[in-house]
Amino acid sequence: MRILLSIIILAGSSCLTIGQNAEFSGFTRGSVFGGGEIYDYTSIFGEMGLQTRFGEGNTFLFSDLRFRSGLDFGEQSTNFQIKEAYAAYRGEKFDISLGKQIVQWGRMDGFNPTNNISSYDYFFLSGDPDDQKISSFMLRMRYRLNQAIDIDLIGIPFYVPSVYRYDLFDFGDAASFGKAAMPDKTFENGSIGARVNFEYPGIGFSVSYFNGYDPFYGFAVSVIDWSTGTPLITNNAKPYHKQTFGADFSIPVSSWIIRGEVAWNINEESKGILNVPNSNLAYVAGIETSFAGVTTIVQYIGKYDLEFTELQSPVITDPNDLMAMMLYVNALVFYESESYNRHIFNQTEELNHGVALMLSRSFAFDLLNVELAGYYNITTEEYLIRPKISYKMSDGLTLSTGVNFMDGPENTVFDYSGKVLNGGFLELKATF
């Protein structure tokens, strides 16, 4: 793999304050990501972000605006993004907010099976994984029963999918991806969520419920065209509806923190539909502590398929019969598509599991920070490694660099993704 060496120079920004109730902050950054198998420059952009908070009494508004221009997977683009924008009221017992918001449920780091509220742009490449979070328009209400217990209710009127660029993967000349099949923007296709959270000195835990379209999705075969004599396959991304009952907890024990999270996903239309995973139990257990100044997080990630059946490879009945051959090829296309969807949903076996490790340590009075994140799927033998180093050059200027590398056996998700997403990154960010 080639190592990308580039220098990005940023112009600094100044702080602007208007009135005692207004707060302004923001950043300007340059970021470059590349050196992978397919793209020399996977992503290059300059970006300015402006966050505004204005409050008056119990009411306030918040906005996070992003202006970005650069190169993205070989295509030049200039974008204006409203990352978040909402109005809110915060009272002694009751809070309400309406607008584009990012909400994350669950107590785990990185893997949150109960977090069905926020979508992600998995193909937005930067030095900070939080940049991948996508807001949804929602009505959010929170009621505090007392200092330890609160109830969180969320209504999302229309579906906002995660971004997963299947079209960038090399599935061969015979396969392509058409327009995604999104659900209509109707009352029926909205999503609701409810969470009761408990915070006590010796334990924090919550129970939650979600009913709506999963922000993550698979794909379906929409067309198999035989007009050229060779099958040309058109796939399209297609979300699915589900219900999720979830729970999480966090318990501090001396210098350790023990966390856990579990979600029971009920997918009523899973039988025989490619883009819908089987109903399942998804769970994560982890511990966090510090050894010699190194913050260490170890996690076990599992998914139990409640409706698992072995995937049967099609068999040709008569190789001399043209119709039998066409039926066989059609069946083979659906077999390969279902096999890949099972990899996407971590349902290749009845029990799919893996482990994750996250390490971080600061040096030189917090001027230098070193991180290492790793993941290994025991079932599919896929893995990911992401080291990162950040150096605080001044109070408002940080230089970050690192590498993203993932791989796996042939035809697995990390095998396809790695060819697109592997590479090194360099980012210089000025904040105010």
How is residue 221 written in tokens?
């075969």
**Mind listing the pLDDT tens digit for each residue in 83-96?**
999 999 999 999 99
Tell me the residue ranges of DSSP E strands in 91-166.
Answer: 94-101, 119-120, 133-134, 136-144, 149-156
The SS3 of residue 366 is coil
Give the pLDDT band of residue 325 (cuts 50, 70, 90): confident
CB 380 within 8 A of CB 407: no
Q: Does 6 have pLDDT greater than 60?
A: no
Lowest mean pLDDT among 205-209, 221-225, 421-425: 221-225
Q: Are 425 and 127 spatial neighbours (Cβ–Cβ below 8 Å)?
A: yes
Q: In whole angstroms, what is the distance from residue 224 CA to residue 222 CA? A: 7
Q: Is the pLDDT of residue 16 over 50?
A: no
What's the rounded Cα separation, in Å, for the pair 169 and 414?
11
Rounded CA-CA distance 110/235 in Å is 29
Contact 280, 262 (CB under 8 A): no
Q: Is the CB of residue 304 less than 8 Å from the CB of residue 313? A: no
* Other CB atoms within 10 A of residue 281 CB: 15
Residues 114-139 pLDDT 10s: 999 989 999 999 888 889 999 999 99
The per-residue pLDDT for 334 is 84
Instruction: Check whether 38 has a pLDDT greater than 50.
Output: yes
Mean pLDDT, the chain, rounded, equals: 90
Per-residue model confidence as pLDDT tens digits over 229-282: 777 888 888 899 999 999 999 999 999 999 999 999 998 776 667 789 999 999
Q: Give me the pLDDT at residue 271, please.
A: 66
Give residue 196's pLDDT.
98
Q: How far apart are CA 197 and CA 194, in angstroms?
A: 10
Cα angle 375, 381, 382 (rounded to 5 degrees) comes to 50
Give the chain's count of helices (H) and strands (E).
Answer: 2, 23
Helix pair 413-421, 322-344: axis angle to 10 deg: 70
pLDDT in tens, 51-109: 999 998 899 999 999 999 999 998 999 999 999 999 999 999 999 999 999 999 999 98
Q: Say whether pLDDT at 19 is over 90.
A: no
> Do 391 and 377 form a contact (C-beta atoms < 8 A)?
no
If pLDDT is split at 50, 70 and 90, which confidence band does 12 have? Answer: very low
Rounded CA separation 108/287 (Å): 10
84: left (phi over 0), alpha (psi -120 to 50) or beta: beta
Q: Is the pLDDT of residue 330 over 90?
A: no
Strands 191-200 and 136-144: unpaired
Number of neighbouring beta carbons within 10 Å of residue 223: 12
Measured CA to CA, the distance from residue 28 to residue 47 in angstroms comes to 6
Tallying the residues shown for the chain, one arrives at 432
Q: Which of 372, 369, 401, 373 is nearest to 34 (CA)?
A: 401
Dihedral, CA of residue 198, residue 128, residue 258 and residue 408, to nearest 10: 130
pLDDT number for residue 225: 82
Split at pLDDT 50, 70, 90, the class of 412 is very high
Report the chain's terminal Cα–Cα distance, integer Å: 36
Give the span between the Cα atoms of 197 and 218, in whole angstroms. Answer: 31
Confidence at residue 96, expressed as pLDDT on a 0 to 100 scale = 98
Contacts of 367 (CB under 8 A, 6+ apart): 391, 392
Q: How far is CA 266 from CA 180, 245, 282, in A?
A: 23, 8, 11
What six digits make up the tokens of 260?
């856990």
What is the mean pLDDT of the segment spanning 371-380?
97
Q: For residue 233, what pLDDT is reported?
A: 85
Please, what are the domains in the chain?
A: 43-292+308-346 (2.40.160)
Percent of the chain scoring above 90 in pLDDT = 70
Strand duo 241-253 + 203-213: pairing: antiparallel
Query: Within 13 Å and on the Cβ side, how many CA atoms surround 41?
Result: 13
CA–CA separation, 186 and 310 (whole Å) = 37
Beta carbons of 110 and 286 less than 8 angstroms apart: no
